[in-house]
Structures are given as C-alpha cells and as structure tokens.
Structure 1
Amino acid sequence: MKDLKFEQKRSLSRLEAADQLEALAAALRHGGNAELDLGPGTMTLRVPEELKTEIEVEVGEGEIELEIEFKWPTAQSAAASGGHRG
C-alpha cells in the first residue's frame, strides 16, 4: 500500500504543459525541500542530489504517450537501508 498517491489528469495547452515542466525542473534544480505547484495546491517534497529516471514513449492507437518518471527513496527507507552516503 502506498503512503501517499497524488494523480492529476487534465487537458493543457502546449504552453501550459511547458510551464508545468519548467516548474518541475525548477523544483528539481532547487533540491532539498522543493515545492511543486500542482494546480489545486502545493506539495513539498524532499529531493535528493541523485535520483533514478525512466523515460518511456509509446506510439499506437492514434496517439503518442510520453511518460517521464523520477524515483528516489523516502528519508525513512534510505535511513533504514543505510542509504546515507558521505
């Protein structure tokens, strides 16, 4: 079971999508406790110096799907697994 899940689906113009990606890029660039503007509110996430990424492109059934995924451990799981690197 997930501790927290937020999902948002909506239609955006190309420029609105670019603005959303720029805001995400700024949060990643800032690191630490970064604030993400998610439309209905703001979420603060701890962003580490290194994270795992996955980019997936699927073409089929008359549409293109582009997924960009970022993953990193929560502070609890990093501490429990001895994930602190010095």
Structure 2
Amino acid sequence: MKDLKFEQKKSLSRLEAADLLSAIAAALRHGDGAELDFGPGTVSLRIPEELRSEIEIEVGDGQLELEVELKWPVPPAGTESPRPAAGSQDESSPD
C-alpha cells in the first residue's frame, strides 16, 4: 500500500505541457518545501539534493510515449530533512 498517490490525466497543448515541465523544474530547483500547483490543489514536496532518474521512450501502436521518473527516499514519519546551517548560501542564491 502506498502512503500517498496522486494521479492526473488530461489532454494538454504543447505549450501547457511545457509550462507543466517548467513548474516541475522550478520545484526541483527550489528543493525543500517545493510546491506544485495541480489545478484544484497544491502538492508540497521535500526534494533532496540527490535523486534517482529513469527516462523511457516507447514507440508502438501509433504513439510515442515519453516517461520521466524521479525517485528519492522519504524520511520516516516524525523526522525532517536536514536544513542548511544559518548563514550558508544555497545554489539558487546569487553570488
């Protein structure tokens, strides 16, 4: 059994798909406490520095399928991910 599952299927224009991927990219850059807006609700995620990825492209039945999968461990309930020490600079901050 999964602790949480969110699934959304809908048709998108190419520009809407690009906007969705840009929002996911921004959440990945933000990392800890990143939020993704999925229409009627928002999903908050804690994204660590290191992820496992899988990219799959399948062609068949007159369709091309591009699947991008990102995985990372979820900390046990009641624990929080480590936060940068006070005064440390994260990668998204200008120098």
TM-score, with structure 1 as normaliser: 0.87
Residue 85 (structure 2) aligns with? none
- How far residue 76 of structure 1 moved from its aligned partner, in angstroms, is 1.1
Residue 9 (structure 1) aligns with? 9
Cα-Cα RMSD: 1.6
Residue 56 (structure 2) aligns with? 56
Structure 1 segment 46-85 matched on structure 2, within 5 A: 46-76=46-76
CA distance in 1, matches of 2:40, 2:22: 18
CA distance in 1, matches of 2:59, 2:70: 21
CA distance in 2, matches of 1:55, 1:31: 21
CA distance in 2, matches of 1:53, 1:60: 23
- What percentage of aligned pairs have identical amino acids? 70
Decide which structure has the larger Cα Rg and report it: 2
For structure 1, the residue ranges without an aligned partner over 5 or more in a row are none
CA distance in 2, matches of 1:71, 1:21: 16
Residue 23 (structure 2) aligns with? 23
- Greater fraction of residues in helix: 1
TM-score, with structure 2 as normaliser: 0.79
- The question of 1:33 aligning with 2:33 is answered yes
Q: Which runs of 4+ in 1 moved over 3 A?
A: none
Residue 87 (structure 2) aligns with? none
Q: How many residues align?
A: 79
- Greater fraction of residues in strand: 1
